[in-house]
Each structure stands twice: as C-alpha cells, then as structure tokens.
Amino acid sequence: MATGENQRVGNEVTDLAPGWDNPEISELPIEGFRYTSVDFYEKEWNEMWTKVWLLLGRVSEMPSKGDYQVEEVGVESIIMVRQDDDSIRAFYNVCQHRGSRLTNNTQGHAEVFRCPYHSWEWSFDGTLLSVQDPEDFPRGNPCEELTLVELPCEVFAGFVWVNLDPDCKPLKEYLGPLWDEWLAYEIDDWSRVLKISTQVPCNWKVIQDNFCESYHLPTVHPQLADSHEENYAYTQFDMSDEGHNRMIMMGATLSRSMRGENPDLPVSLAERMKHWDLDPKDFDQRVYDVRLALQRKMRELGPSRGHTHYSNLRDSQLTDSHHYNLFPNCSLTFSADGVLLQRMRPDPLDPQSCLFDHWYYTKNTELADSATNIELTDTEGLHETVKYGEQSMGLIPDQDIAISVMQQLGLRSSGFKGGFLSSQESRIRRFHDVIDSYIK
C-alpha cells in the first residue's frame, strides 16, 4: 500500500512545507457499521474519546476569576473555570452528593456553583464550601471529605484542552507537529467572530472523513475554484505519527483545471491585492502570478501593519490554506490571519447523529474574509444554534453537511461494501487506522 512518499502527491510540483512522518496506512475496508453500530460507538467512547485531548474552551472568553465555560462531549459535561491565580482548571459538571449536574449554563460567572438539588455550594477551585445539615452525615462533614472531580487541563493556542484520562500524556506530545505550526500564527488573542452549532443526522466521523479529503471540492464547492488550486497534484498532504493530518492547498490563485489558462481576476482576489498595494491591472492575463506577488507584499508590508506573526510564517502560510485534521474530532483551516474551526461531537443517544460546531477566529475580520471564503460579512458576531435543514450556516458548511447527511443514508445500507479510496483520500484511511489503534 501507499507509503508516505507517494501520499504527498503534490511534491513533484511544488514543496509547500517540510513533510511530516507519513506513517504506513492499512488497506482495510471502511465498513458502514463504523457509522451506525451502537457497539462500535460504545467502544469508541470507552477506549478512544476518554483517552484523547479534547479542544473545548477559549481562554479569552473567561477573562476574570470565576468565569467559566461548560462543554458537552458524549455523556459528559465539563466545567472549565478561571482560578484566583489566573490558571484554568476543569471539573466534571457533577455534584458529588447524588450526581446532579451543577449547572445547565454553557458559560457564565460564578462565585460558587450551587447545586440545584440540595444547595451544596462548590467553590470554583473544586472545594466544597457548605452543605445543609453537615452534622447529619455518618461519614463526617462532606466539606472535609469531598471535592469536585478534576480533569487534566492545559492551555495552548488560546484554547482550553481537557483529557478524560487522568494518566494522559502531555498535550504537547499529543499534538506532535501541530504544536509548532499553530504557535507560529500567534492565535492566542484571535477572537471568535462566528459561532454556529447544529445537530446533524449523521455519525460524527462522516463529517471528519469529508474534512480528510479535498477530492469533493470540484463537485461540492465549485466556487472554491475562484480562490484555490484544487488539483490534488498541486496540493500537499501529510499525516503525523500522532494521528493528525495536514493538507496545504494553494490560495490566492484559481484552479487551473476548472478555470483554464487565462481566467478573469475574481473580485475577491482583486480586493485582496488592493489591500496589499498591488494593482490588479498589472496582472491582466497573469492571474497565476498573483500568489507569489502577494506573498512578497505581505512579507514586506505585514509587520508594519500589525501582522507581526508573519515573520514566523513560511511563504506558503501567507497565501495558502493550511488545513488540519486534529484527531479525533476537529478540523482547522488556517489562513494567515484567521482560522476556521469545525468540531464534531458524538450524540450520546444515537450513533447516527452528531453535534457540529462551525467557528471562526481572527484578529482582522476584513482581511480574513477575502482570504478564506468565510462569509463573515453577513454573520459577524453571530452566535447561535441553528436547526439543521431550516437555517443556513453559510454556503460552504451547508454544502459539506448536506453531502454528509446523504452519505450517512448510504453507509447504513447493506449495499455499501467498504469504500474504494484514491491516494488523495489516504487521510481518511489513516483517521480510521488511528481510531482502531485506540479501540483494539
């Protein structure tokens, strides 16, 4: 089967970045039961979800001590809360009296968490401050016996990461090559300008599979041919030993195979050029020269315009989409000034359903908009849960999710025999290999 060498299909054309480990992948079929079976879902939960680092919160959204965020993953609910010493700690959202959730809020500020059932009061550092009738407990005053159950929690890239495994390895080791690449963007102070969530009738892996390949772009997102070179031969694919994937797709260009040798300059690219003091007229008949010219201008002017992190970035990172599959359940697409974060969480009641989050972080909305095709202009500041099928999340996520729902319907059929992948879809097989390495 394919080795790391021939999975990096684009490299004979252009080296966009130093490659990763690209471990061997299996040739196993990817059968439908992986997306439908309750047994498989339970194995995934017990042996994989409870052993991995999960991207859950955002530090900047908890600025003061006592500020908290609550995130659900499968059957669990986790409180992340800012401490007196400014650190963030994570606790199960579970009262140790008789198991009630402490809060149904998704975020807020609390001097104490007061359990709604019998009013036990928990400090945000996990200590139990007061209970009703403390003298009536045969095993002693609960305040001297109990604390909230704490979870391993780390902060990186401005995100709060939590692991349900008390014996987990450090986050840096888990992230492998993602650590240094994401550090370079200096995203700690980027803020969330788009936050949409929805429940989707498909298994969580269907969406991550989709985000593990760009083979669907010409069919599902034909509009991206006006901003990216979609041809796999020009695209770099990498897989890491830790289970994460990367795809680097050239941006600030057009898809030659879709748009021909001498296309008109799209308006969005012309706007981006003007922003960087390039005259679109100088590139008449030379659309395919724009990308490198833009890189030079961004390099030259970026730092004086406040883009200090450009000095950390490779030329390719200035113009090209750097797309990462963070194992197991996130997909992050970086442009030089923004990142689209999409996250899939399992539905604890149904393997054929999941929660989908579509978030965008940036320091500079105007620039990120033209570089990424994210429709921020209409949705800036939108924070909502939408009903799948009734409200739009934006054109591109609507396209991806619609096709994922179609696929789920086919995956549950006995007529599906396990797939037939191209090399450019190897990251899907790798994703399932990594899941299997946890659940064996």
What is the distance between the alpha carbons of residues 79 and 71, in angstroms, rounded to a whole number? 7
| Single-letter residue type at 205 | K
Residue/partner pairs of 300-307 with CB below 8 Å, 24 or more apart? 301/276, 301/277, 302/336, 307/336, 307/337, 307/364
Residues 99-128 that bind ligand FES (CB under 6 A): 100, 115, 117-118, 120
Among ligand FES, Fe ion, none, what does residue 400 contact (CB within 5–8 Å per kind)? Fe ion
Among ligand FES, Fe ion, none, what does residue 17 contact (CB within 5–8 Å per kind)? none
Among ligand FES, Fe ion, none, what does residue 97 contact (CB within 5–8 Å per kind)? ligand FES
- The footprint of ligand FES on this chain (CB under 6 A) covers a number of residues equal to 8
- Listed in order, strand segments (DSSP E) in 2-98 are 53-58, 67-73, 76-82, 88-92
Nearer to ligand FES, 46 or 127 (CB): 127
Nearer to ligand FES, 57 or 126 (CB): 126
Helices 426-439 and 204-211 pack at an angle, to 10 degrees, of: 140
Q: How far is the CB of 211 from Fe ion (least distance, A)?
A: 7
Among Fe ion, ligand FES, none, what does residue 98 contact (CB within 5–8 Å per kind)? ligand FES
- Listed in order, strand segments (DSSP E) in 294-432 are 321-326, 330-335, 338-347, 350-362, 382-386
Nearer to ligand FES, 119 or 413 (CB): 119
Q: How far is the CB of 208 from Fe ion (least distance, A)?
A: 12
Q: Which of 157, 205, 183 is nearest to 329 (CA)?
A: 205
Residues 389-428 that bind Fe ion (CB under 5 A): 400
Q: How far is the CB of 129 from ligand FES (least distance, A)?
A: 12
Between 80 and 99, how does the x/- string for binding to ligand FES read (CB under 6 A)? Answer: ---------------x-xx-
Nearer to Fe ion, 163 or 373 (CB): 373
Cβ neighbourhood burial of 398 (10 Å; 0-12, 13-18, 19+): middle
Nearer to ligand FES, 93 or 208 (CB): 93
55-92: buried (b, 16+ CB within 10 Å) or exposed (e) per residue? bbbbbebbeebbbbbbbebbebbbbbbbeeeeebbbbb
Nearer to ligand FES, 112 or 402 (CB): 112
Among ligand FES, Fe ion, none, what does residue 115 contact (CB within 5–8 Å per kind)? ligand FES
Q: Tokens 């989050």 identify what position?
A: 357
Peptide bond into 177 cis (omega under 30): no
Task: Please report, as ranges, the residues that interact with ligand FES according to CB under 6 A.
Answer: 95, 97-98, 100, 115, 117-118, 120
